[in-house]
């Protein structure tokens, strides 16, 4: 959100003066304003029939200028307000622009907005035709662009699956390149998840360890990063690398100057337009002429060549809600006529995927990067914990419903088309919720009150309704004196053999009658308390640690903590309070009886240890998706899960803290905060599941099974038939797998797929309706290792 973050700050006079002075000092040109007349109708370089960009063979460097516009779903405004104020006009402007600029290309990432436009606009056919022609390209193709750090992997997978299904229904091309410019951080197993999704590349801009946010507009050096940080390591390696995970790799394009740097080439001053004040403004100040544009290109490419690792350089154009640059083709022609002969640098107009298609041919020559680019302190881990809880619960409930539907289909039970359509619509809504602003909980309070909170309640009701409808289909097949129990997981669960904890509905993990109240937890190896922290907004949420920021422990804080234990020894906590003072965060502190050796956090393909050499904020919080494990010197190992706050920090040699909630007016960016209100009203409530093992008993898969068995629902429904004859089993699960965790089963185009927690080369099915399986990515392509299996 460089666009929105930076542009909102322009309203603040002090920062405006600081940036103005900086821009005047570092202005690339300014005195030479020679204008060369170029034919207004002459456009950029031709694109051949295969969509490959043409450039002279003798070009030493080829610069691809990519015209885009980053479209948030809900941040400052609600989605409806964004559409009426900005998005609709951007799409209409794009249609007009591409009609008169035949060789231009524009690309977008978010299906959410394209879907809305073609549903509501009379120009839908023209827009879809431009997509079919490749004039408008879709890069990424999710409903939105997710938060990649704290959203469960299943939410990210379904976001892209939903987007791809939308595209397939309209016979549109499925993207293979992920454009996620504004997401806030990236775990070390992200290349694996991208690989399993079928992507060949990814582009992003926010990395950890970056400390000089104002320099996003000017030359960046290694000294602008925390020494030894993942961000510094990536910057040293270069802006174009092969990002390797444990199982796969993708081409990584890193944008150190953020995702709209090319927009400044069209303005005399290095300021973006403030679309929130004046959507019509191209620049804050005068627009550039051909010479100013060319001098800025010359300066930028000159200092990026040594980081490019390729003769091809991609320059993104377009901050948030930015319309196409009307002078793009004319300026490109001017450069190629005047500057190409002397520089050997040739400019073309293309998309991110065009750039990757060129780079892919020489990817074996690219350097390899391996590492963690997830932020190790940003406040959004603890922001709007109710929203994080809702997202987690909803993802697991919808996965369970999808598995129930697959079970019904395998049993030849008819699922009405309306139910499958409802499920499809709910996944689309969840794709908007997992978008980087909503999923992270960083949206403004006005948008939250007007749109997010009502939509949460509406979605919860719809999920409950679809659960009931699917259960009714089973009820009609069993006797009135019988009941059916459905286990959506591909594992055996204890409690109701062999299916696990029985529940009615999907909100309570275990019925209260199965739990025993406990007064303290000391006898289990730990005690708990709640801590209040002064929190002035921290280091924003952009993956950097921009000082100064204040996050300091004040004192203990009285909250309500309910403690219960199951017959199997699993401890359940619920912690909450009605209010948190503004400008503060609240954590739950786990005090252990032995020293902590290490903490492992669950990411998308298993457990990962997040480490950094130096951290500005102490303590520092690291992300987890569903649970983390604490290893003690005594040999005890605690697995702790929560659906609420998604950051954990070691606060002493024997304690860790997890967010309960956060209430800050702003999230700090540089010296000043952006205009607007991000405070939270409460109540602040979150729940925890604690599972203890010794070192000799510890197993990564067992930990995952214990946690997922507690957070996935099991459905129970009484029969509706008058007679006692039961046509389907009273209780069943579809399959059981050895040494893995089958999270859910879904069907696409008549084929069944199983999503696993742990990537694997093979899947051994113990029992059930499916006997064979093959690992595939989400394009259906066979690959060696995957977390998605086609069932046969």
Tens digit of each residue's pLDDT (9 = 90 or more) over 180-232: 999 988 999 999 999 999 999 999 998 888 877 666 667 888 988 888 889 99
- If you average pLDDT over residues 511-515, what whole number do you get? 60
Q: What is the pLDDT of residue 513?
A: 55
CA–CA separation, 196 and 180 (whole Å):
17
- If you average pLDDT over residues 663-690, what whole number do you get? 78
pLDDT higher than threshold 50 for residue 5: no
What is the β-pairing status of strands 526-535 and 551-556? antiparallel
Question: What's the pLDDT band for 6 if we cut at 50, 70, 90?
Answer: very low
Q: What is the pLDDT of residue 385?
A: 94
Q: What is the pLDDT of residue 538?
A: 64
**Burial of 722 by CB count in 10 Å (0-12 exposed, 13-18 middle, 19+ buried)?**
exposed
CA–CA separation, 574 and 559 (whole Å):
10
**Burial of 194 by CB count in 10 Å (0-12 exposed, 13-18 middle, 19+ buried)?**
buried
Question: What's the pLDDT band for 39 if we cut at 50, 70, 90?
Answer: very low
Three-state secondary structure call for residue 679: coil
Given phi > 0 = left and psi -120 to 50 = alpha, else beta, which region is 421? alpha
Q: What is the pLDDT of residue 176?
A: 96
Name which of 43, 67, 93 is nearest 354 in CA terms.
67
- If you average pLDDT over residues 94-121, what whole number do you get? 93
What is the pTM for the complete model shown?
Answer: 0.91
CA–CA separation, 621 and 629 (whole Å):
14
- If you average pLDDT over residues 514-538, what whole number do you get? 89
Lowest mean pLDDT among 166-170, 434-438, 477-481, 772-776: 477-481
> Position of tokens 């008058």?
722
pLDDT higher than threshold 80 for residue 572: yes
Q: What is the pLDDT of residue 103?
A: 80
**In which element (H, E) is residue 347 found?**
strand 345-350
Distances, alpha carbon 500 to alpha carbons 179, 488, 494, 557, 717, in Å: 40, 10, 4, 36, 15
Tokens standing for residue 342: 């002397």
**Strands (DSSP E) found in 669-741:** 684-694, 715-718, 731-732, 735-737
- If you average pLDDT over residues 161-189, what whole number do you get? 94
- If you average pLDDT over residues 702-727, what whole number do you get? 84
Name which of 328, 312, 456, 345 is nearest 391 in CA terms.
456
Q: What is the pLDDT of residue 661?
A: 95
- If you average pLDDT over residues 168-173, what whole number do you get? 94
> Position of tokens 């610069």?
63
Distances, alpha carbon 420 to alpha carbons 350, 466, 467, 789, in Å: 38, 9, 12, 22
CA–CA separation, 325 and 137 (whole Å):
16
Q: What is the pLDDT of residue 25?
A: 35
Q: 660 and 574 in contact (C-beta within 8 Å)?
A: no
pLDDT > 70: what percent of the chain? 87
Q: 185 and 208 in contact (C-beta within 8 Å)?
A: yes
Question: What's the pLDDT band for 510 if we cut at 50, 70, 90?
Answer: very low
CA–CA separation, 790 and 792 (whole Å):
7
pLDDT digits (tens, 9 = 90+) for 295-348: 999 999 998 999 999 999 999 999 999 999 999 999 999 999 999 999 999 999
Tokens standing for residue 677: 């209100």
Tokens standing for residue 533: 């922290």
Question: What's the pLDDT band for 411 if we cut at 50, 70, 90?
Answer: confident
Q: What is the pLDDT of residue 612?
A: 73
**In which element (H, E) is residue 90 found?**
helix 88-100
- If you average pLDDT over residues 284-291, what whole number do you get? 92
- If you average pLDDT over residues 116-134, what whole number do you get? 95
pLDDT digits (tens, 9 = 90+) for 419-452: 999 999 999 999 999 999 988 888 999 999 999 9
- The neighbour count for residue 666, using CB atoms within 10 Å, is 18
Question: What's the pLDDT band for 595 if we cut at 50, 70, 90?
Answer: very high
pLDDT higher than threshold 70 for residue 260: yes
Secondary structure of 740-766 in HEC code, one letter for each residue: CCEEEEEEECCEEEEEEEEEECCCCEE
- The neighbour count for residue 102, using CB atoms within 10 Å, is 13
pLDDT higher than threshold 70 for residue 94: yes
Question: What's the pLDDT band for 671 if we cut at 50, 70, 90?
Answer: very low
- The neighbour count for residue 64, using CB atoms within 10 Å, is 23
Question: What's the pLDDT band for 95 if we cut at 50, 70, 90?
Answer: very high
Q: 104 and 97 in contact (C-beta within 8 Å)?
A: yes
Q: 434 and 144 in contact (C-beta within 8 Å)?
A: yes
CA–CA separation, 606 and 189 (whole Å):
9
Q: What is the pLDDT of residue 449?
A: 96
Question: What's the pLDDT band for 363 if we cut at 50, 70, 90?
Answer: very high
CA–CA separation, 792 and 772 (whole Å):
5
CA–CA separation, 302 and 753 (whole Å):
49
Q: Which comes out higher in pLDDT, residue 678 or 511?
A: 678
Residues 6+ apart with CB under 8 A from 139: 68, 107, 108, 109, 175, 177, 178, 179, 203, 351, 352, 353
Question: What's the pLDDT band for 9 if we cut at 50, 70, 90?
Answer: very low
Q: Which comes out higher in pLDDT, residue 544 or 660?
A: 660
Q: What is the pLDDT of residue 507?
A: 38
Tokens standing for residue 262: 């090319």
Q: Which comes out higher in pLDDT, residue 150 or 710?
A: 150
Q: What is the pLDDT of residue 674?
A: 54
DSSP codes joined into one string, 12-58: SHHHHHHHHHHHHHH-S-SS--------TT--S--B-TT-PBP--TT
Q: Which comes out higher in pLDDT, residue 265 or 41?
A: 265
Q: What is the pLDDT of residue 546?
A: 60
CA–CA separation, 483 and 91 (whole Å):
53
CA–CA separation, 405 and 612 (whole Å):
44
- If you average pLDDT over residues 633-641, what whole number do you get? 96
Name which of 712, 626, 159, 708 is nearest 396 in CA terms.
712
pLDDT higher than threshold 70 for residue 399: yes
Tokens standing for residue 318: 């377009």
- If you average pLDDT over residues 130-135, what whole number do you get? 94
Mean pLDDT score of the chain: 86
CA–CA separation, 355 and 739 (whole Å):
41
Name which of 299, 448, 316 is nearest 387 in CA terms.
448
Lowest mean pLDDT among 20-24, 248-252, 290-294, 621-625: 20-24
């Amino acid at each position: 959100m460089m666009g929105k973050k930076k542009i909102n700050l322009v309203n603040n006079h002090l920062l405006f003066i600081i940036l103005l002075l900086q821009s005047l000092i570092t202005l690339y040109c300014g005195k030479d304003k020679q204008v060369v007349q170029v034919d207004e109708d002459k456009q950029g370089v031709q694109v051949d029939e295969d969509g490959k960009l043409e450039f002279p063979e003798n070009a030493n460097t080829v610069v691809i200028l990519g015209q885009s516009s980053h479209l948030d779903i809900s941040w400052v405004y609600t989605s409806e307000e964004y559409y009426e104020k900005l998005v609709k006009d951007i799409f209409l402007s794009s249609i007009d622009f591409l009609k008169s600029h035949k060789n231009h290309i524009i690309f977008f990432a978010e299906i959410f907005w394209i879907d809305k436009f073609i549903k509501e606009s009379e120009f839908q056919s023209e827009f879809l035709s431009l997509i079919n022609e490749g004039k408008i390209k879709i890069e990424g193709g999710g409903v939105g662009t997710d938060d990649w750090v704290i959203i469960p992997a299943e939410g990210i997978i379904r976001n892209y699956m939903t987007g791809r299904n939308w595209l397939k229904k309209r016979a549109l091309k499925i993207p293979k390149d992920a454009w996620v410019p504004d997401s806030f951080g990236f775990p070390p197993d992200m290349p694996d998840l991208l690989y399993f999704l079928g992507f060949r590349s990814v582009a992003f801009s926010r990395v950890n360890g970056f400390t000089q946010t104002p320099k996003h507009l000017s030359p960046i050096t290694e000294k602008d990063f925390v020494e030894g940080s993942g961000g510094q390591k990536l910057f040293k390696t270069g802006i174009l690398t092969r990002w390797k995970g444990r199982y796969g790799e993708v081409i990584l394009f890193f944008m150190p100057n953020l995702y709209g740097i090319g927009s400044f080439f069209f303005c005399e001053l290095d300021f973006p337009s403030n679309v929130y004040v004046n959507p019509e403004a191209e620049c804050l100040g005068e627009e550039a002429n051909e010479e100013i544009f060319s001098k800025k290109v010359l300066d930028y490419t000159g200092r990026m060549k040594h980081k490019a690792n390729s003769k091809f350089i991609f320059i993104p154009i377009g901050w948030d809600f930015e319309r196409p640059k009307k002078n793009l083709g004319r300026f490109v022609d001017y450069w190629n006529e005047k500057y190409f002969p002397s520089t050997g640098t040739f400019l073309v107009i293309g998309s991110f995927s065009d750039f990757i298609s060129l780079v892919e041919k020489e990817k074996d020559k690219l350097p390899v990067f391996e590492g963690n680019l997830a932020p190790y302190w940003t406040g959004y881990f603890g922001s709007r914990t109710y929203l994080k809880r809702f997202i987690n619960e909803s993802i697991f409930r919808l996965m369970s419903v999808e598995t129930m539907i697959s079970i019904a289909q395998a049993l030849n039970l008819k699922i009405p088309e309306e139910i499958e359509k409802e499920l499809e619509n709910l996944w689309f809504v969840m794709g908007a919720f997992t978008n980087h602003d909503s999923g992270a909980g960083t949206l403004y309070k006005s948008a939250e009150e007007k749109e997010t909170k009502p939509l949460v309640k509406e979605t919860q009701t719809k999920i409950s309704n679809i659960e009931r409808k699917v259960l009714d289909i089973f009820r009609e097949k069993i006797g009135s004196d019988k009941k059916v129990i459905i286990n959506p997981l591909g594992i055996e669960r204890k409690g109701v053999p062999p299916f696990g904890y029985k529940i009615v509905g999907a909100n309570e993990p275990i019925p209260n009658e199965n739990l025993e109240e406990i007064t303290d937890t000391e006898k289990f190896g730990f005690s708990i308390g709640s801590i209040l922290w002064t929190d002035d907004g921290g280091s924003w949420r952009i993956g950097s640690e921009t000082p100064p920021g204040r996050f300091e422990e004040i004192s203990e804080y009285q909250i309500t903590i309910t403690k219960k234990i199951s017959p199997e020894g699993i401890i359940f906590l619920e912690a909450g309070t009605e209010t948190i003072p503004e400008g503060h965060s609240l954590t739950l502190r786990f005090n252990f009886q032995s020293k902590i050796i290490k903490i492992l956090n669950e990411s998308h393909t298993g457990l990962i240890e997040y480490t950094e050499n130096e951290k500005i904020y102490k303590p520092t919080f690291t992300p987890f998706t569903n649970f983390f494990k604490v290893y003690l010197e005594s040999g005890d190992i605690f697995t702790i899960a929560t659906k609420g706050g998604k950051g954990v920090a070691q606060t002493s040699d024997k304690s860790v803290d997890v967010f309960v909630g956060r209430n800050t007016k702003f999230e700090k960016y540089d010296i000043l905060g952006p205009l607007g209100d991000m405070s939270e009203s409460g109540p602040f409530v979150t729940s925890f599941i604690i599972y203890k093992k010794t070192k000799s008993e510890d197993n990564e898969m067992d930990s995952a099974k214990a946690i997922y068995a507690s957070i996935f629902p099991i459905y129970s429904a009484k029969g509706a038939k008058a007679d006692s004859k039961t046509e389907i089993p009273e209780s069943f699960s579809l399959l059981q797998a050895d040494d893995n965790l089958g999270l859910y089963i879904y069907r696409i185009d008549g084929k069944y797929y199983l999503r696993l927690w742990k990537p694997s080369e093979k899947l051994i099915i113990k029992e059930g309706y499916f006997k064979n399986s093959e690992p595939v990515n989400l394009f259906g392509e066979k690959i060696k290792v995957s977390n998605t299996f086609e069932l046969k």
